[in-house]
Amino acid sequence: MTNTWYDAVVVGAGFGGLATALELTQRGARVALCETLNYPGGCASTFRRHGYSFEAGATLFSGLAEEQLFGRWVRQLGLDVTVDWLDPLVELRTPGMRLGVYRERQRLMEQLRALPDAPADALRDFFTLQHQVAQALWPLFDDPTLLPPLDVRALLRHASRASSYLPLLRWMGRPLGAVLERFGLLGFTPLRTYLDALCQITVQCAATEAEAPFALGAMDYYWRGTGHVRGGIGQLASALAGAVTTGGGEVLYANRVKGLEAVPGGWKVSSRRGELLARNVVTNMLPQGLTRLLGLPPEREPAYLRELGGRVAEGWGAVMLYLVVRAPAEASPQAHHLELVQDEQAPFVEGNHLFASFSGEADTGRAPSGHRTLTVSTHVPLRSLAGRSEEEQARTVSTIQARMRMGLKRLAPEWMESVHHELTASPRTFERFTQREGGAVGGVPRRAGLHHYRTLGPREVMDGLWLVGDSVFPGQSTLATALGGVRTAACIARG
Q: State pLDDT tens for residues 412-453.
A: 999 999 999 999 999 999 999 888 999 999 999 999 999 989
Residues 6+ apart with CB under 8 A from 446: 203, 204, 205, 210, 211, 214, 215, 452, 475, 476
| Residue 65 predicted with pLDDT over 60 | yes
Can you tell me the distance from the alpha carbon of 65 to that of 62, in angstroms, rounded to the nearest whole number? 8
Residue 70 C-alpha from the chain's centroid: 14
Q: 460 falls in which pLDDT band (50, 70, 90)?
A: very high
Mean pLDDT of 58-87: 95
Average pLDDT on 222-227 reads 95
Residue 2 has pLDDT above 60, yes or no: no
> What percentage of residues in the chain have a pLDDT greater than 90?
92
How many Å apart are CA 40 and CA 313, to the nearest integer? 25
Q: How many CA atoms lie within 13 A of 324 on its CB side?
A: 18
Give the lowest-confidence range in 53-67, 78-92, 156-170, 353-367: 53-67
Is 90 exceeded by the pLDDT of residue 475? no
Window from 223-237, 287-301, 343-357 with minimum mean pLDDT: 287-301
The pLDDT-based confidence of 306 (bands split at 50, 70, 90) is very high
pLDDT confidence of residue 493: 94
- From CA 342, how far away is CA 476, in angstroms rounded? 25
Max Cα distance, the chain (Å): 71
Mean pLDDT of the chain: 95
Q: What is the mean pLDDT of residues 293-322?
A: 93
Residue 30 DSSP label: -
How much is the average pLDDT of 477-483? Answer: 95
Q: C-alpha distances in angstroms, 408 versus 25, 26, 59, 361?
A: 45, 45, 18, 21
Can you tell me the distance from the alpha carbon of 110 to that of 472, in angstroms, rounded to the nearest whole number? 36
pLDDT band for position 1 (50/70/90)?
low
Q: Residue 158 pLDDT more than 70?
A: yes
pTM of the model: 0.96
